């Protein structure tokens, strides 16, 4: 089972000045690809925390996605912090320098040039003609924090993460969660590989609770669905999708 960890980097997120919309996007996209997100964390622009967190995620997950801190300003320290966390040196990438020159021309500054410093052992991925490459270091993909840029970059490389899909079934109920708790417990015990979720809805729909059943094995999922439906009070089941 392939897993992912998402690290959102930036004081602006922690202070509430900017709302993170990158992690919800990545979660949805990775789920469609069959990758299970194990953990999401938001951390400040502190080198030691960035380096340590990325290294821990790298060891715990198949893939790691970072967002934020890769521009030319003083708080754009993600790449250098990752290199420090892994104990490797930085080097100036000729490929990135060329891209920066092509984009900025004579207005290129020393600050722009710093963006070409990447960890030794990095790989630069081509994802779209005429666009700058995507940085990968080991199993870590370093994305910009600007949502539009992150989406373009991720869309260009996402197929490399596709794996066995996660199959989803949903049951919509007219019931209280307390009434169905025993049925859920029995189903989870009988089918331990099942990812079972219960989500109450307060208003605005015809149902009170939505149940989600997920698994990579479609036959196993069908068996769990049948078992749960037999456990639930028949009168409370509105529909199954």
The per-residue pLDDT for range 50-72, each reduced to its tens digit, is 999 999 999 999 999 999 999 88
pLDDT for res 42: 98
Q: Residue 104's pLDDT is what? A: 87
What kind and span of H or E run contains 146? none
* CA gyration radius, the chain: 22
Distance (Å, whole) CA 115 – CA 80:
10
Predicted local distance difference test score (pLDDT) of residue 1: 83
Domain boundaries, the chain: 3-161, 167-240
State the greatest distance between any 2 C-alpha atoms of the chain, in Å, as a whole number: 72
Q: Are 170 and 149 in contact (CB under 8 A)?
A: no
| Measured distance CA(21)–CA(236) in Å, rounded | 35
In the CATH scheme, what is the code of domain 3-161?
3.40.980.10
Query: What does the pLDDT read at residue 59?
Result: 98
Closest among 122, 65, 136 to 90, alpha carbons compared: 122
Judge contact between 222 and 189, C-beta under 8 A.
no
**Whole-number pLDDT of residue 193:** 96
What is the torsional sign of CA 80, 141, 96, 43? negative
Q: pLDDT value at position 92?
A: 96
Q: 167-240 maps to which CATH number?
A: 3.30.70.2860
Please provide the average confidence, as pLDDT, over all residues in the chain.
Answer: 95
User: Quick one: pLDDT at residue 203?
Assistant: 78
111-117 LR contacts (CB < 8 Å, sep 24+): 111/72, 111/73, 112/72, 114/72, 115/70, 115/71, 115/72, 115/76, 116/92, 117/79, 117/80, 117/90, 117/91, 117/92, 117/93
Cβ atoms within 10 Å of 114's Cβ, excluding its own: 17
Q: In the chain, which stretches have pLDDT less than 70?
A: none
pLDDT score at 228: 98
């Amino acid at each position: 089972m392939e897993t992912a960890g998402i690290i959102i980097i930036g004081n602006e997120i922690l202070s509430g000045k900017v709302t993170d919309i990158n992690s919800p996007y990545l979660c949805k996209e990775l789920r469609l690809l069959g990758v299970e997100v194990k953990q999401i964390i938001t951390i400040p622009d502190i080198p030691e925390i960035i380096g340590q967190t990325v290294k821990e995620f790298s060891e715990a997950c198949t893939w790691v996605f970072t967002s934020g801190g890769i521009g030319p300003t003083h708080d754009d320290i993600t790449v250098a912090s990752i290199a420090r966390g892994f104990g490797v040196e930085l080097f100036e990438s000729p490929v990135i320098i060329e891209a920066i020159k092509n984009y900025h021309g004579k207005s290129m500054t020393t600050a722009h040039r710093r963006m070409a410093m990447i960890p030794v052992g990095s790989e630069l991925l081509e994802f779209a003609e005429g666009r700058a490459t995507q940085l990968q270091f080991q199993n870590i993909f370093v994305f910009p924090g600007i949502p539009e840029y992150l989406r373009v970059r991720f869309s260009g490389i996402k197929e490399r993460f596709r794996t066995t899909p996660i199959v989803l079934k949903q049951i919509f109920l007219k019931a209280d969660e307390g009434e169905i708790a025993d049925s859920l417990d029995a189903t989870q015990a009988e089918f331990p590989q099942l990812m079972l979720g219960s989500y109450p809805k307060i208003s605005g729909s015809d149902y009170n609770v939505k149940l989600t059943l997920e698994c990579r094995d479609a036959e196993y999922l069908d068996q769990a669905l049948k078992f749960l439906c037999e456990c639930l009070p028949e009168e409370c089941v509105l529909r199954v999708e």
